[in-house]
Chains A and B, each alone.
Chain A
Amino acid sequence: MSTSREERTAAGFLSNKMWMRFRRALIGRSINDGFLFKIALYVILLSISVMYIMPLLYMLATSFKSMSDLLDQAVRYVPRQFELQGYKDALIGLDYLNALWQTAYMSLSAAILQVISCGITGYAFARLKIPFKNGLFFIVLLAFLVPPQVLVIPLYVTYAKLGWTQTALPFIIPAVFAAGLKASLFIIIYRQFFATLPKELEESAKIDGAGAFRTFVKVMLPLARPAILLVFLFSIVWHWNDYFEPSVYLQSSQLRDFIPLSLRMDRMQEALNFHKSVTAGNNQQLIFDIYAPLKMAASVLIIGPMLILYMFAQRYFVQGIERSGIVE
Chain B
Amino acid sequence: MNDRDKLEQPKLTMTAKEHRRRKRARHVMESLSGLLFIAPWLCGVALFLAYPLGYSVFVSFQQVGVKPDGSGLSYAYVGWQNFRDAFLLDNEFPVKLIDFAYRSVLTVPMSVLFALLVALMLNQHFPGRMLFRTLFFLPVIFATNEIITELQNQGQGTIPFLQQYNVTELLYSTFNASIAKTILGILDQFVIVLWYSGIQILIFLAAFQTIPKATYEAAQIDGASPWESFWKITFPAVVPFIVLCLIYTIVDLGTNALNPVLTIIVSNMGNIETGYGYSSALGWIYLTVIFVPIALLVWWSRNQQKRAKG
In this complex, the member of B49, B159, B225, B280 whose beta carbon has the largest number of chain A beta carbons within 10 angstroms is B49
Partner of A299, one of B147, B205, B207, B284: B147
A38 adjacent to B126 (CB under 8 Å):
yes
Q: Is the contact region of chain A dominated by helix, strand, or loop, or is it mixed? A: helix
Q: Is A228 positioned at the interface, with any CB of B under 8 Å from its CB?
A: no
A310 adjacent to B138 (CB under 8 Å):
yes
Closest to A42 in B: B126
Cα A55 to Cα B155 with chains together (Å): 9
B30 adjacent to A212 (CB under 8 Å):
yes
B269 adjacent to A153 (CB under 8 Å):
yes
Q: Is B100 positioned at the interface, with any CB of A under 8 Å from its CB?
A: no
Cα A161 to Cα B79 with chains together (Å): 26
Which of A12-20, A81-89, A136-144 contacts its partner?
A136-144
Partner of A318, one of B47, B134, B262, B266: B134
- Return the CB mask of B42-56 against A: 1 if under 8 Å, else 0: 011101110111011
- Return the CB mask of B82-94 against A: 1 if under 8 Å, else 0: 0000000000000
Cα A23 to Cα B105 with chains together (Å): 42
A150 adjacent to B283 (CB under 8 Å):
yes
Partner of B48, one of A32, A56, A180: A180
Q: Is B37 positioned at the interface, with any CB of A under 8 Å from its CB?
A: yes
Cα A5 to Cα B120 with chains together (Å): 28
Neighbouring B residues of A299 by C-beta, 8 Å: 146-147, 150-151
In this complex, the member of A125, A131, A327 whose beta carbon has the largest number of chain B beta carbons within 10 angstroms is A327
Cα A73 to Cα B168 with chains together (Å): 23
Q: Is B241 positioned at the interface, with any CB of A under 8 Å from its CB?
A: yes
Cα A184 to Cα B125 with chains together (Å): 34
Closest to B241 in A: A327
- Return the CB mask of B188-206 against A: 1 if under 8 Å, else 0: 0001101100010011011
Closest to B141 in A: A310
Given contacts A51-B191, A52-B136, A310-B138, contact A150 B52 (CB under 8 A): yes
Q: Is B305 positioned at the interface, with any CB of A under 8 Å from its CB?
A: no
Neighbouring B residues of A153 by C-beta, 8 Å: 52, 55-56, 59, 269, 276, 279-280, 283
B38 adjacent to A144 (CB under 8 Å):
no
Which of B1-9, B16-24, B175-183, B251-259 contacts its partner?
B251-259
Neighbouring B residues of A176 by C-beta, 8 Å: 40, 44
Q: Is A147 positioned at the interface, with any CB of B under 8 Å from its CB?
A: yes
Q: Is A168 positioned at the interface, with any CB of B under 8 Å from its CB?
A: no
A265 adjacent to B265 (CB under 8 Å):
no
Neighbouring B residues of A49 by C-beta, 8 Å: 132, 135-136
CB-CB contacts below 8 Å: B33-83 with A: 33-35, 37-38, 40-41, 43-45, 47-49, 51-53, 55-56, 59, 73
A147 adjacent to B146 (CB under 8 Å):
no
Q: Is B223 positioned at the interface, with any CB of A under 8 Å from its CB?
A: yes
**Chain A: minimal CB distance from B280 (Å):** 5
**Chain B: minimal CB distance from A87 (Å):** 15
B37 adjacent to A244 (CB under 8 Å):
no
In this complex, the member of A155, A179, A309 whose beta carbon has the largest number of chain B beta carbons within 10 angstroms is A179
B43 adjacent to A177 (CB under 8 Å):
yes
A52 adjacent to B48 (CB under 8 Å):
no
A243 adjacent to B132 (CB under 8 Å):
no
Q: Interface of A with B (CB < 8 Å)?
A: 1-3, 30-32, 38, 41-42, 44-45, 48-49, 51-56, 58-59, 62, 117, 120-121, 123-125, 128-131, 136, 139, 143-157, 174, 176-180, 183, 187, 211-213, 216, 237, 241, 243-244, 247-248, 262, 265-266, 289, 292, 295-296, 299, 302-303, 306-307, 309-310, 314, 317-318, 321-322, 326-328
Other than the given A120-B41, A317-B137, A318-B134, 14 more pairs (CB < 8 A) read A54-B191, A59-B156, A125-B38, A129-B27, A130-B38, A144-B251, A145-B251, A147-B255, A154-B51, A265-B150, A292-B154, A302-B146, A327-B207, A327-B210
Q: Interface of B with A (CB < 8 Å)?
A: 27, 30-31, 33-35, 37-38, 40-41, 43-45, 47-49, 51-53, 55-56, 59, 73, 118, 121-122, 124-126, 130, 132-147, 150-151, 153-154, 156-157, 159-160, 191-192, 194-195, 199, 202-203, 205-207, 209-210, 220, 223, 225-227, 241, 244, 247, 251, 254-255, 257, 262, 265-266, 269, 276, 279-280, 283-284, 286-287, 290-291, 294
18 contacts between A and B (CB under 8 A): A31-B225, A45-B132, A51-B194, A52-B139, A54-B191, A55-B157, A58-B154, A124-B37, A129-B31, A130-B38, A148-B255, A149-B265, A151-B52, A265-B150, A307-B141, A314-B134, A321-B206, A326-B206
